[in-house]
Structure 1
Amino acid sequence: MTMDALQLANTAFAVDMFKKLCDKDKTANIIFAPLCTSTSLALAYKATKGDTADQMKQVLHLQDVKDVSFGFQTVTSDVSKLSSFFALKMVKRLFVDKSLGPTTDFVNSTKRPFPSELELVEFKEKTEETRQKINKSLSELTDGKMENILNEDSVSDQTQILLVNAAYFVTNWMKKFPEAEIKECPFKINKTETKPVQMMNLEATFCLGYVKELNVAILELPCLNKHISMLILLPKDIEDETTGLEQLEKALTPETLLQWTNPSMMANTKVNVFLPKFSVEGDYDLKPLLESLGMTNVFNESASDFSEMCETKGVVLSKIIHKVSLEVNEQGGESLEVPGYRILQHKDEFKADHPFIFLFRHNKTRNVILSGRFCSP
């Protein structure tokens, strides 16, 4: 399994972001859409020069990527096909104020690699009208799931470039979890507290891996047609006074993640899987997070350089809005309701009744579409 430079770059960026979000709040549920962010930032990167471009290149791990635009063009066209199989929407938009005077050359150069991702709008002249117009189109793009993504504080007549990511996904498994097996169970939030969850249960053959030194099991649950898989990283139990994820989060790096989820490290095993039904929502301002990773110029009008896009000086990325919602339920394709199917011999148990980390990977391009952690119902 070889991964190309862009997949490695996007994976590294996803892990960096995830760790920053984890550090910000040790016990919160997290869901974010790293591929949306790297795609939008790659479009913004195309507009920059000098140190501003260098910083973005570092943070997005694009040093070894020969042709960034073409790489994203391929990924975007592959990933956009997923919405015909799944309740999956991924909106990645860069709204640029017309008054900055972006050149026709620049606008045209974005059309193939980043189709419909760059939009020229009038923040300066028609602030409120523009905000409402954007909200309306974002609502349509997310099937009405996300209303009023831009509140009144998110834009002003000073807004220059606004980056919006909005994504939602509802799981659709290759093997559905039988409804009859869903029971209320306690979910351990930490060593002493529990909360009730609706626990799904399924016995079948899945890919299972194990990280010995961390005592962590890794399960791959394929979604319909194996286009997407959910990978779950579950510590054996809550060993310390935290949610039990602290050690795992420390050990998680782009390298370790690729190592642990490498097919050669996992084996097809009969598994009795217990997974809670849950939904998570994330809403983040990514500016401080990206600044802490070293992407600072792009937000700083005395340092930023957007001269690939326009002549105007002091252009900055004004705001980044990132909203994601995920619903994990029992729905799926083939049902395994065959007489006697429950008599699996020598089976492993994978019981996600305490905090875990998860990611949804697009199997064709190996990109992480969504990533998060579930700590509490």
Structure 2
Amino acid sequence: MKPSTSTHPRSIWALTACWSLLLALSLSLCPLVRPSDVTMTDAARQEYARRLALFSINVYGKLTAQKPGENIVFSPFSIQTCAAMARLGAEGETAAELDHGLGLASSDAGQIAQSFHQVLAAYENSQILRIANKIFVMTGYALRQEFDELLTKQFLSAAQSVNFAKNTEAAATINGWVEQRTNHLIKDLIPPSVLNADSRLVLVNAIHFKGTWVHQFPKHATRPDTFHLDDKRSVQVPMMGLKERFRYADLPALDATALELPYKDSDLSMLIVLPNSKTGLAALEEKLRITALSQITQALHKTQVVVKLPKFKAEFQVELTDVFQQLGMSKMFSDAAEFGKMLQSPEPLKVSAIIHKAFIDVNEEGTEAAAATGAVVRMKRSVISLEEPIEFLADHPFTYALVHEEDLPLFWGSVVRLEENDSANSEHDEL
């Protein structure tokens, strides 16, 4: 252990990497809390999902305001997981701001850790969804025992010593781990310039999901079609087509419709919410801020739907400090930050940056994205259907989420623009 002789806050990095999405959080060292032996009840899981959904839409709203006209894609679960690991080392007003801003259901570190453990442990051996956490610690420094135990047992996180003073080597080590855990989709997350001799910790959360649709879109049915950017502008894009029985909902209160596209061998699905108007996405986003995700999913019912959905890819990178501050989490970035429970050495720590990077690819076979997995049973098709098929034509801006069956949003995004013939010639890796 190396005592500090400086009164200036040192730097910590926490980053989350998702197979199709990544978050990096740079912060100063933080305080910790003791674990408690708790298990989540059904009500607690529902409350956790509800709060994550609220956090998701709050972050989404800030991102759309910050980057208007851009396709948004991010993992609220990854952001929350990474920040929650830092929260375990926080105390005082810093901890209280994180509890409120992240939408955590408890201020007890053990219960916070347990709520995330439920999700992390469920997919520990999954072949479809891989979630991993890791802590990189400055050589010569040791984690406090309580903090180490919570991260190791509940966040399934291992620690590795790194000399941040050798910033190029340290960045290469961290980025190599991230790249490996994200199937080489997220590269060079941490620039060497953000690491130095004052850096103490880097917390990493990696999520890797690759899902195949239960009902795949036939490739021969994909053809150029019109995507309306607004009332006046449009582009020709590869539009996938399929007629199948899906869970669908008409949502008059939102002036929108919703469609659920399930993934094979998974308890995850893509939920698409499509405004009725070509220019209705902004109004829909406002209404979603006061609409529980469960209200949408509970309105879904099985019916025959003719689906038209554009193939799309999106890459997104953003520094999240402003978003966190707008959500009431400011002290963690200041010299007054209270992160005394992370390291055994009593030195002041603060968050210096939060970097989030994401990628998604949606095509005929399925989706590459951050998400969760489980089992989906395919409904047998009726021999004769008297239903008049409903048309779900996603030919204008829409929002979507990758959602666990318990309404847990692990991935959120929007499509507001597509390039002419976007993805027309793209090749997709085997699923």
Q: 1:157 aligns with which of 197, 207, 210?
A: 197
Q: Deviations over 1:313-353 (max 9, x none)?
A: 320123222111111011159999x9xx9987401000001
CA distance in 2, matches of 1:167, 1:73: 14
TM-score norm. by structure 2 comes to 0.77
Q: 1:306 aligns with which of 340, 364, 367?
A: 340
Structure 2 equivalent of residue 131 of structure 1: 171
1:286 maps onto 2:330 in alignment = no
1:200 maps onto 2:254 in alignment = no
CA distance in 1, matches of 2:183, 2:390: 39
User: Compared with structure 1, are the counterparts of its residues 56 and 288 closer, same or farther at alpha carbon in structure 2 (3 Å cutoff)?
Assistant: same
CA distance in 1, matches of 2:62, 2:113: 27
Give the 5 Å matches for 1:33-112: 33-64=75-106, 67-82=111-126, 84-85=127-128, 88=129, 90=131, 92-98=133-139, 101-112=142-153
Structure 1 residue runs of 5 or longer lacking an equivalent are none
- Give yes or no for contact 1:278–1:329 (8 Å, CA) kept in 2: yes
Q: Deviations over 1:43-91 (max 9, x none)?
A: 1111111111111100111144771111111111224444x13xx5555
Helix, strand or coil at the partner of 1:153: helix
1:374 maps onto 2:410 in alignment = no
CA distance in 2, matches of 1:117, 1:209: 43
Give the 5 Å matches for 1:175-186: 175-186=215-226
- Give yes or no for contact 1:5–1:64 (8 Å, CA) kept in 2: no
Q: 2:277 aligns with which of 234, 237, 240?
A: 237
Moved more, 343-352 or 322-331: 343-352
- Give yes or no for contact 2:294–2:407 (8 Å, CA) kept in 1: no
CA distance in 2, matches of 1:231, 1:343: 25
Counterpart AA for 1:13? F
Structure 2 equivalent of residue 26 of structure 1: 68
Structure 2 equivalent of residue 296 of structure 1: 330
CA distance in 2, matches of 1:266, 1:46: 37
Q: What is the Cα-based RMSD across aligned positions, in Å?
A: 2.8
CA distance in 2, matches of 1:162, 1:272: 47
Counterpart AA for 2:388? H
Sequence identity of aligned pairs in percent?
A: 26
Structure 2 residue runs of 5 or longer lacking an equivalent are 1-41, 367-375, 419-431
User: Compared with structure 1, are the counterparts of its residues 294 and 272 closer, same or farther at alpha carbon in structure 2 (3 Å cutoff)?
Assistant: same
Residue 143 of structure 1: CA displacement?
Answer: 2.0
Residue 29 of structure 1: CA displacement?
Answer: 0.0
Structure 2 equivalent of residue 357 of structure 1: 399
1:256 maps onto 2:256 in alignment = no
Helix, strand or coil at the partner of 1:111: helix
Counterpart AA for 2:85? L
User: Compared with structure 1, are the counterparts of its residues 342 and 271 closer, same or farther at alpha carbon in structure 2 (3 Å cutoff)?
Assistant: farther
- Give yes or no for contact 1:298–1:317 (8 Å, CA) kept in 2: yes
CA distance in 2, matches of 1:146, 1:218: 30
Q: 1:187 aligns with which of 200, 203, 227?
A: 227
Structure 1 equivalent of residue 12 of structure 2: none
- Give yes or no for contact 2:133–2:205 (8 Å, CA) kept in 1: yes
CA distance in 1, matches of 2:327, 2:261: 32
Helix, strand or coil at the partner of 2:176: helix
1:10 maps onto 2:52 in alignment = yes
Helix, strand or coil at the partner of 2:250: strand
Helix, strand or coil at the partner of 1:349: strand
Counterpart AA for 1:276? P
Q: Deviations over 1:219-250 (max 9, x none)?
A: 111011242100001011224xxxx3110011
User: Compared with structure 1, are the counterparts of its residues 372 and 15 closer, same or farther at alpha carbon in structure 2 (3 Å cutoff)?
Assistant: same
- Give yes or no for contact 1:135–1:150 (8 Å, CA) kept in 2: yes
Residue 94 of structure 1: CA displacement?
Answer: 4.7
- Give yes or no for contact 1:96–1:120 (8 Å, CA) kept in 2: yes
Counterpart AA for 1:31? V
CA distance in 1, matches of 2:179, 2:136: 16
CA distance in 1, matches of 2:241, 2:261: 13
CA distance in 1, matches of 2:235, 2:160: 45
- Give yes or no for contact 1:90–1:166 (8 Å, CA) kept in 2: yes
Structure 1 equivalent of residue 188 of structure 2: 148
Structure 1 equivalent of residue 32 of structure 2: none
User: Compared with structure 1, are the counterparts of its residues 223 and 181 closer, same or farther at alpha carbon in structure 2 (3 Å cutoff)?
Assistant: same
- Give yes or no for contact 1:286–1:320 (8 Å, CA) kept in 2: yes
Helix, strand or coil at the partner of 2:193: coil
1:269 maps onto 2:313 in alignment = no
Helix, strand or coil at the partner of 2:240: strand
